[in-house]
Amino acid sequence: MRPARALIDLQALRHNYQMAREVTGAKALAVVKADAYGHGAVRVAQALETEADGFAVACIEEALELRAAGICAPVLLLEGFFEADELPLIIENDFWCVVHSLWQLEAIEQAKLNKPLTIWLKLDSGMHRVGLHPKDYQEAYQRLLASGKVARIVLMSHFARADELDCVRSDEQVAVFEAARKGLSAEVSLRNSPSVMGWPNVGSDWVRPGIMLYGATPFGEDQAVAARLQPVMTLESKVICVRELPAGEPVGYGARFITPKPMRIGVVAMGYADGYPRHAPTGTPVLVAGQRSQLLGRVSMDMLCIDLTDVPHAGLGSTVELWGKNILASDIAVAAETIPYQIFCNLRRVPRLYCGD
């Protein structure tokens, strides 16, 4: 059996969720969209259900998967509904629903619903992706109440640059939000992972931890809360071949690496078809047989090469950590010029094994 696998530490997951609550004092929706950022939405939700205030997903398909697995906690649809005919399913499964567009508001007004909805009313406070315009926000709130089809409204927005700790844009967005919601009596949700970790002065009754749940930092620099996170996923495989090469020999496709001296090369069963970033360059860190080493040459579909020259005790069958508790996913992301969100979401073909239940 191919040795590539992803080990998911559910105790670390719970630690990170509890930290989101601890540093904010707020209720927390665990964001499990995109299959829990590649960690397995059902198993992640099961691990958190006894303590989570609820979950957040992108769409109704993801929410229905949780309900089918027996998850009874609140589930928020972060993109709301895409067609009005989803509303009966939302009611039937007791999902919470974001409203970010006037057409969604109008669909609710026109719908025949047998019980009221919980709505999270989203304001575009400056990200300019989705959300109601500030001039429409108060009226939308009043129309939802007047419809008689809404039991509860949470006011929300989303930061565009909270991962930039010295950027004033988040403060500007808070000011837009506060002006738009003036006089409205409802709970508030503003903070995602970067703002949970780096913006303690932003008020929020509900927070929405995502990437921090999985133990990765959204920041490009050291940060106090990030230092306390525990990595949840360890991606590992084994050395399946060892080559002894003289100086001047090319390694891998395109001869991107030429041995500068006699070297010992390990071939690892891991490639971009598993989700390891193809653009990770020579020098990207790995851990082999407990010792730090590096990637050599171009990543292939199913294999990659690492340096065993200075790891004499490593050889055929040695375990290689591609990222995890020793090699941080955020460091791999920096090397590959991407972000840890994409690193995790790209995981595929690799079996997930869970511990810490």
Ordered per-residue pLDDT tens for the chain, 357 residues: 999 999 999 999 999 999 999 999 999 999 999 999 999 999 999 999 999 999 999 999 999 999 999 999 999 999 999 999 999 999 999 999 999 999 999 999 999 999 999 999 999 999 999 999 999 999 999 999 999 999 999 999 999 999 999 999 999 999 999 999 999 999 999 999 999 999 999 999 999 999 999 999 999 999 999 999 999 999 999 999 999 999 999 999 999 999 999 999 999 999 999 999 999 999 999 999 999 999 999 999 999 999 999 999 999 999 999 999 999 999 999 999 999 999 999 999 999 999 998
**pLDDT of res. 317:** 98
- Among residues 17, 33, 214, 341, the one annotated as catalytic is 33
CB contact burial 198-227 (16+ within 10 A = b; e otherwise): bbeebebbbbbbbbbbbbbbbbeeebebbe
Active site residue 253: yes
Closest CA to 155 of 135, 130, 138: 138
- Three-class HEC string of 260-274: CCCEEEEEECCCHHH
Asked whether 251 and 297 are in contact (CB, 8 A), the reply is: yes
Which residues, other chains included, contact 283 with Cβ-Cβ below 8 Å and sequence gap of 6+?
294, 295, 335
Active site residue 33: yes
Q: What is the pTM of this model?
A: 0.96
How far is residue 306's CA from residue 309's CA, in Å, rounded to a whole number? 9
- The alpha carbon dihedral of 83, 186, 197, 326 has a sign of negative
Which residues, other chains included, contact 48 with Cβ-Cβ below 8 Å and sequence gap of 6+?
13, 14, 17, 30, 55
Q: How long is the chain?
A: 357
Distance between alpha carbon 105 and the CA centroid of its chain, in Å? 28
- Among residues 135, 149, 238, 253, the one annotated as catalytic is 253
**pLDDT of res. 167:** 96
**pLDDT of res. 357:** 85
